[in-house]
């Protein structure tokens, strides 16, 4: 999906370093920050991070992003506990 949206192989391979990179837009970084924090420790998403996210996305878009992140977190946890391998 990332490739279809124009991300390079380098961006995908080094996604964990998105904060330090200059080839992600501010909006992409805000969305990635939401995904990272929502996945690892959702209580760490403070008011400053909400304010930054709202600079780039409206309420409906934030709900869609959060729903997609939550759904993929569910899939990952479900698949991990059942030791399911991804298929093509």
pTM value is 0.84
Among all chains, which residue has been given the structure tokens 């709900």? Answer: 63
pLDDT at 86 over 80: no
Q: What is the dihedral of CA 27, 29, 31, 34, to 10 degrees?
A: -140
What is the rounded distance in angstroms from the CA atom of residue 21 to the CA atom of residue 8?
Answer: 13
Residues 23-62 pLDDT 10s: 999 999 999 999 999 999 988 989 999 999 999 999 999 9
């Amino acid at each position: 999906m990332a490739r279809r949206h124009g991300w390079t192989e380098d961006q995908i391979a080094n996604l964990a370093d998105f904060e330090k990179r200059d080839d992600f837009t501010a909006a992409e970084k805000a969305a990635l920050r939401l995904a990272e924090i929502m996945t690892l420790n959702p209580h760490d998403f403070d008011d400053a991070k909400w304010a930054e996210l709202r600079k780039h996305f409206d309420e409906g878009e934030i709900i869609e992003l959060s729903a997609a992140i939550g759904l993929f977190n569910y899939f990952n946890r479900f698949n991990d506990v059942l030791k399911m391998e991804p298929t093509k």
